[in-house]
Chain A
């Protein structure tokens, strides 16, 4: 009589295993070890915050008097980002296609995958340093560095997108007697097109951000100006540069959203404006 006892259960539906717990304990131990190793302590954080407050107070008000330098740096960054994205995408498409295991034989996918993995191995700044050594200071090094980054990123995502497509649709196109290139055009690419637009715009966004940074190692763009301003303690100019970069990134973000909406959701330009208006109306309604 009464409740059945736990021992009567045929099996524990949630068996507990040992190894995840051991791993969790090991992770906690490692975190403490790393803190000790790197001499991270509360005192240092506290003094650091004090210094940071002084630094931030010197950032304001921003100084836009050298706007010509600002515009030159920004437009160079923009050019680097657009060129690197375009070149990267053009190179990544065939490479990503070659790396897709469901379409290509292993002797094609392995070399393609190797190139993509190598493009992804290093941070763009490290690649930029290499290219500065190779082709000298300036925007060309930045373009090449970000092209490599784009190949790695788009190549990998494009390959994954192709490997996830429905082969039934491909089979149907093959059954019509279509040559391989036509099978790609009608059976494969339509299935990955919208995702491709998604990561191409994301990559442009990412390249914009990185193009403001490669200048620090001498590969062109606003980063060089920013770094020089830091070293001369022109903190008000630094602030102006940071504001300009934020503006550029936000503009890129808005553009990317618009492109995605047009290609993926079949929106028209007028829809986009209307959607903005509709959202404002909703916000007003909520406030009322």
Chain B
């Protein structure tokens, strides 16, 4: 499905953020990446759909190396990778339904996009999906009128509109309150289940990761230091990942 081989990234030459990461994401379900701030979790996620250019390594996705793609081939690969962002990254001045339909832009020609002519099938699906994420009736509200939790639901629906075969989420709950965070994680878990696709999520919250993830990857200083089931993540391992132990109570 998705295989990362010896992936490295250095924003400044000589100070690598990602060092030789090799991972395989095969199973459906949620894979959570945990680790302290600045360990390269975001960079790892963003390298996968090439929002960040990796310095070295391979990103094998559905049989092709994404690291080598450019132009149209890269855009076509991106269509199959949905992405959910920490700060939602909705287009604030567009309506909810326009934001959802923007998930189809990889499939619709620019000429149609400029005239806002989406296929009826896409429009029907957008309204269905709005219902699924619990925002029926919000279609014509502007995105900047929504609350954080509602915005993230729109963000998730936009990613699902792409009909992705892989869903990436970069700290999707970090800007939300605890209750809303759980609701958003439940929604992501439900999508992973119902669509049978792998979901790769960066997280700060270890408890939330343990509760929802089928697999946890721990990162420290740009390297993978833990890869296993949530039950295998013990205090000793957490100390290795985050350092210190005072915060563990």
> Which A residues are closer than 8 A to B by beta carbons?
166, 168-169, 171-183, 185-187, 190-191, 193-194
Q: Mark out the residues of chain B between 65 and 96 whose CB falls within 8 Å of any chain A CB in the assembled complex.
A: 72, 75-81, 83, 85, 87, 89-94
Interface residues contributed by chain B, number (CB under 8 Å)? 34
Chain B's closest residue to A190 (CB) is B93
In Å, the complex CA distance between A185 and B79 comes to 18
Tell me whether chain A's interface is mostly helix, strand or loop, or mixed: helix
B91 touching A176, Cβ below 8 Å: no
B93 touching A173, Cβ below 8 Å: no
Name the distance in Å between A70's Cβ and chain B's nearest Cβ.
43
Name the distance in Å between A196's Cβ and chain B's nearest Cβ.
12
Chain B's closest residue to A194 (CB) is B93
Question: Would you give the 0/1 interface string for B92-117, flagging 1 where the beta carbon is closer than 8 Å to chain A?
Answer: 11100010001111111110011000
- Can you pick out 17 interface pairs between chain A and chain B where the beta carbons lie within 8 Å of each other? A168-B85, A169-B91, A172-B91, A172-B102, A173-B105, A175-B78, A177-B76, A177-B77, A177-B107, A177-B162, A178-B106, A182-B108, A182-B114, A186-B113, A187-B91, A187-B102, A191-B91
Of A166, A176, A182, A194, the residue contacting B162 (CB under 8 A) is A176
**Residue from A169, A175, A178 with most neighbouring chain B CB atoms (10 Å):** A175
B75 touching A169, Cβ below 8 Å: no
B91 touching A177, Cβ below 8 Å: no
Residues of B within 8 A of A178 (CB): 75, 102, 105-106, 113
B158 touching A176, Cβ below 8 Å: yes
Residues of B within 8 A of A190 (CB): 91-94
Q: Which 6 A-B residue pairings sit nearest by Cβ, starting from the closest?
A: A177-B106, A178-B105, A181-B110, A177-B78, A177-B79, A172-B89
Residues of A within 8 A of B76 (CB): 177
> Which B residues are closer than 8 A to A by beta carbons?
49, 51, 72, 75-81, 83, 85, 87, 89-94, 98, 102-110, 113-114, 155, 158, 162
In Å, the complex CA distance between A187 and B155 comes to 14
Name the distance in Å between B98's Cβ and chain A's nearest Cβ.
7
In Å, the complex CA distance between A147 and B109 comes to 33
Residues of A within 8 A of B51 (CB): 171, 174-175
Name the distance in Å between A287's Cβ and chain B's nearest Cβ.
37
B158 touching A182, Cβ below 8 Å: no
Residues of B within 8 A of A181 (CB): 110, 113-114
Residues of A within 8 A of B90 (CB): 169, 172
A173 touching B113, Cβ below 8 Å: no
In Å, the complex CA distance between A181 and B109 comes to 9
Name the distance in Å between A193's Cβ and chain B's nearest Cβ.
7
Of B77, B78, B98, B110, the residue contacting A182 (CB under 8 A) is B110
Residues of B within 8 A of A174 (CB): 51, 78
Residues of A within 8 A of B81 (CB): 175
Residues of A within 8 A of B94 (CB): 186, 190
Residues of A within 8 A of B113 (CB): 178, 181-182, 185-186
Name the distance in Å between A171's Cβ and chain B's nearest Cβ.
6
Chain A's closest residue to B103 (CB) is A176
Name the distance in Å between A276's Cβ and chain B's nearest Cβ.
26
B106 touching A176, Cβ below 8 Å: yes
Residues of B within 8 A of A177 (CB): 75-80, 105-107, 162
Residues of B within 8 A of A191 (CB): 91-93
Name the distance in Å between B106's Cβ and chain A's nearest Cβ.
3
Residues of B within 8 A of A168 (CB): 85, 87, 89
